[in-house]
Amino acid sequence: MTKIDRTYLDWNATAPLLPAAREACVAALDMVGNPSSVHGEGRALRMLVESARRDVAALVNTAPAHVIFTSGATEAANLALTPTYRMGRTPLAIGHLYVSEIEHPAIREGGRFSRENVTTIPVTPAGIVDLDALEAVLQTHDKAKGLPMVAVMLANNETGIVQPVKAAAEIVRRHGGLLVVDAVQAVGRMPVDIEVLDADFLIVSSHKLGGPKGVGALVSRGEVLMPAPLIRGGGQEKGHRSGTENPAALAGFAAAARAAVTDLVERNTLIADLRDALEAGMRTATNDIIIHGADGERVANTSFFSLPGLKSETGQIAFDLEGIALSAGSACSSGKVGQSHVLAAMGFDAALGGLRVSLGSGSTTADVERFLAAFSRIVSRRRMTGNAA
């Protein structure tokens, strides 16, 4: 049986492990000790952990002390999304959580809030959070029950559409609320500065950057306003997230973080050129393709498209058989391929399928050419079935 050459175009699901990250992980695995131990071996690992904290802080222009390491972005979300906070030693109640309709499932599930205390904010047909709706719902918030918390992602994981986080922050501030921003798909693909965004918390993930899986961070604006711990125990991470740190994963995360901020603009300009060539080729192949978010601001690497009559699952399998790895949206739903809640929120028919191509620093012109050749074959088969012009 002839082996099919594979082309990986699913960087939003996970980026291939960077050689520098792999080397850093392996080197850390050879170190003996526990980062909490006071002897020389422990202190060496503590230095590694704190060095990683500095590198991750640099991703979003904040102080290292503002970085809490977690097992990933989902844990970071569950740590941040809680009705129980402290301002220093003073308890602070959060009465209600407001999340945009296009948030990742890790946010949409509401973390530690009860379902009745979670409200969704609609988005416009362009896939942008509706700021007027956000203003209106915060005006009706009952502050007697606690402060409002708002969660708005910076770049959507399916469409790549960049959200008006700074404008949302201005609304949240007027109503005395807290702002949590999922920056997982944004870091490394656009400049991200927690101060410029005026967010209280940012969520970041290692494996989206080319680091190892199973490690992420919740980044806070400061050290006074903090959520109740999600994992209690030995008091690691200043008591915010107990459990022995994973130095090997953190070393890889740090290497990926350093790479993510190196030549950021130049790298993403090249990736955007590849994405634009890919979309131009698809438009040449068929005139009924819908490219979601193409008229607005997107991160450079993402193209989310629909072909009327082609189901997401059918399209994903067809491309996989062609040797092309892409996605039907979020890869964080246990392998399920279902209807896109993002497209539904934008007002599209729920039956309309979507496929996501996402590129990265290792993507090439040859990758785009192989994709377009496969795309043309799939479109031709679709025409023969009478599904499209």
Q: Catalytic site residues?
A: 332
Q: How far apart are CA 247 and CA 253, in angstroms?
A: 10
Helix (H) or strand (E) holding 220: strand 216-220
How many Cβ atoms from other residues are within 10 Å of residue 260's Cβ?
25
**Cβ-contact 79, 88 below 8 angstroms:** no
According to DSSP, the β-strands at 67-70 and 216-220 are antiparallel
What φ, ψ does residue 303 adopt, rounded to 5°?
Answer: -135, 120
Residues 6 or more apart whose Cβ sits within 8 Å of residue 324 = 6, 7, 9, 370, 371, 374
Number of Cβ atoms within 10 Å of the Cβ of 244: 12
Q: Of 99, 374, 46, which Cα lies nearest the Cα of 237?
A: 46
In a 10 Å sphere around its CB, with 0-12 CB exposed, 13-18 middle and 19+ buried, how is residue 30 labelled?
A: exposed
